Amino acid sequence: MQTITCGTGRSYDIIVGRDIIDKSGELIRKVSQAKRAVIISDTNVAPIYADRVAGSLYSAGFEPARACFKAGEKSKNLNIISEFYSIFSDAGITRDDIIIALGGGVTGDMAGFAAATWLRGVDFVQIPTSLLAQVDSSVGGKTGVDLPVGKNLVGAFWQPSLVICDIDTLKTLPEKYFTDGMAEIIKYGCILSKSLFEKLENFEINSILEDVISECISLKVDVVEKDERESDRRRLLNFGHTIGHAIEKLQKYEGLTHGQAVAVGMAYITKAGEIAGVTAPDTYARLVNLLQQYSLPIEVKGITNKQLCTAAMNDKKCTGNSINLVLLKEIGCAFIERMGFAEFEGFIGL
């Protein structure tokens, strides 16, 4: 078991290990004196893990209640958040109590946002059960929900009190969603660590999984500690996401998964960077080879360049009439370039 500390304004630990989900109540009790807790989970994860977490919380002296929503990005909206508030009210959740996010990235984003906004802020704990959530979304305090006009447009920065990453929960993860998380892992290699990228090229992931998860978390913690509110360096973590979010929106969140859309976004932006001469030659080929190694897509059909760019310009990464794009100089080294709409459309040039 490894413990990584995130030293933001509100410091907390990320615990990475195996067979620790049944100890969640004991671990949470060390950081919380709450009486009541609400476990938020979805219809995929709750049947597998909610009873175990609730039992652990009860043994540690908590009074656990539950909120369960239909799994999927389409549930990530303010209507479902309102349902959570009703459950909090019925459970008597006060500022001294705690919310538990049990599931993947959608669950963590929603539970964190609900915790941030209930009574102007209640503590919450992340128990991520997907690879994507363990290496990325559970750490850093970004919470939010989607609107019809775009993804994650309503949200808050609200750091968790604790993150519990039980790697054994990934055994119940469908293969599709494991590869989903691999897109985020590859992202870290692209923007922050050439050695991680090379490790992914040369080793089978299951033989190095625990170390890779811990390394990705450490990389993200380092970025978040320096830029908690995403005003500078933290924007690098959006590599592939500007285009990825646009694809998700255009497909009404019923096409590619988040990780698959980010994979396409990384491929498109890297290819465009090479053509423009700002990305080192052969970077795109190496990225494509690695994405395909993990069965991730590198293109999407049925979306025009105009549609993609228009959707991307509605993203929260836009400032005025320009957009902040994350580009690669080479594997392991990224930078941010601001472009206007016309320049962006020409740059992508699908």
Active site residues: 120, 142, 184, 220, 230, 234, 238, 241, 245, 258
CA–CA gap between residue 145 and residue 80 (Å, rounded): 10
DSSP bridge pairs for 149: none
* Residue 48, amino acid: I
DSSP bridge pairs for 128: 103
The 3-class secondary structure across the chain, one letter per residue, is CEEEEECCCCCEEEEEECCCHHHHHHHHHCCCCCCEEEEEEECCCHHHHHHHHHHHHHHCCCEEEEEEECCCHHHCCHHHHHHHHHHHHHHCCCCCCEEEEEECHHHHHHHHHHHHHHHHCCEEEEEECCHHHHHHHCCCCEEEEEECCEEEEEEEECCCCEEEEEHHHHHHCCHHHHHHHHHHHHHHHHHHCHHHHHHHHHCCHHHCHHHHHHHHHHHHHHHHHHCCCCCCHHHHHHCCHHHHHHHHHHCCCCCCCHHHHHHHHHHHHHHHHHHHCCCCCCHHHHHHHHHHHCCCCCCCCCCCHHHHHHHHCCCCCEECCEEEEEEEEECCEEEEEEEEHHHHHHHHCC
